[in-house]
Each structure stands twice: as structure tokens, then as C-alpha cells.
Amino acid sequence: MGSYQSEKYVSWDEVQSLCRKLAVRIHAERPDLTRILAITRGGLFPAGILARELNIKLIETVGIESYNGMDRQNDVVILKEFNQHFAENVLVVDDLADTGRTLKELKRTLVKPVVVTLFTKPQGSVDVDYYGEEVPQDTWVRFPWDTARTFVPPLVS
């Protein structure tokens, strides 16, 4: 776990619940948003849920890499560009704003983006407009798409 002191395990039900709560807020405050730009890979699942809840049918992806392994950050690298029709007044979706490096880099190429993440950490929160929950900077968030359910034997057999 490297420099992380704790872990937060997130269930699919929690992802669904956070997305629905975020959708209510976004719809109330920004009903004008008609496009989603999902940051792959972590933003794909929440983007799909938000698109459904907000009835947004125009979805694009951008591939960005900033991690090498679990906790070693690299330079931010754009792996897949996005269609420029999504460069303005778009809802940018990601799973987590950690240090904010990825979002800062992406926002330089966008006009008036609205950023939503499921989770944010103190260093990343400055670049996020909507988030579901804030976690401590030293917490590693384990999303359901990064984990697997396994059988746990009973304490007494």
C-alpha cells in the first residue's frame, strides 16, 4: 500500500447511491449539461450511471495515465484524445480526485468544464465541482471494478 495508511473499500451499491445523489445535485444546478467526458478507466462506470440518471446520451472518453502501479505517480500522459465537440460545457466524470494533477492537465484543454468525482481527497478537491465523499489524503480507495468478491471461511468449522 506504499505511503497510504488506510484503505476504503467501496461497493457497487455505494457507487450507485453516490451517483444518484450527485445526479440530483447536478440536475438541480446544471440542467444545461448535455455531454459527458469520462476519464478512463475509473470514470467509465460512474459516467454510465450519471448518463442514465441525467438522460445524457452524448458520451466521450479521454484516456489519461498518471499512475505507475499502486501509488507511484508519473507525469500525466494523454493516451487517447477526445472529440473536440466535447471540449466546451461538458460534465467531466472520474472516480477519484487524488492530487488533482490529472484534472488540472485535462481542464487546460476544456472550456467551462464541470467536474464530478465519486471521491475526492483534500489535494484534489480544488479541481472538483461535485463529489460524493471526501476521504483523507492517505487513504487508498478500492473500487468494486478493482476488486473481486471471494469466499471467506467461517471462524469456526
Per residue in 93-139, pLDDT (tens digit) is: 999 999 999 999 999 999 999 999 999 999 999 999 999 999 999 99
The CATH number of the domain where 139 resides is what? 3.40.50.2020
157 domain residue, yes or no: no
Return the ∠ at Cα 105 (arms to 116 and 2), rounded to 5°.
Answer: 80
49 domain residue, yes or no: yes
pLDDT for 3 equals 78
SS3 annotation, 77-90: EEEECCCHHHCECC
pLDDT for 75 equals 80
pLDDT for 151 equals 87
Domain residues for 20? Answer: 6-146
30 domain residue, yes or no: yes
Nearest to 66 by CA among 96, 91, 101: 101
16 domain residue, yes or no: yes
156 domain residue, yes or no: no
Q: Taking a C-beta distance cutoff of 8 angstroms, is the pair 42, 95 a contact?
A: yes
1 domain residue, yes or no: no
Provide the residue-wise pLDDT of the chain in tens; the chain has 157 residues: 457 889 999 999 999 999 999 999 999 999 999 999 999 999 999 999 999 999 999 999 999 987 665 555 668 888 999 999 999 999 999 999 999 999 999 999 999 999 999 999 999 999 999 999 999 999 999 999 999 888 889 999 8
pLDDT for 139 equals 96
154 domain residue, yes or no: no
67 domain residue, yes or no: yes
Q: Where are the beta strands (DSSP E) in the chain?
A: 6-9, 35-40, 58-68, 72-80, 91-97, 114-120, 130-134, 139-142
Give the total number of structural domains in the chain. Answer: 1
Q: Taking a C-beta distance cutoff of 8 angstroms, is the pair 69, 79 a contact?
A: no
Maximal C-alpha separation, the chain: 60
Active-site residues, by number, are 94-95, 98
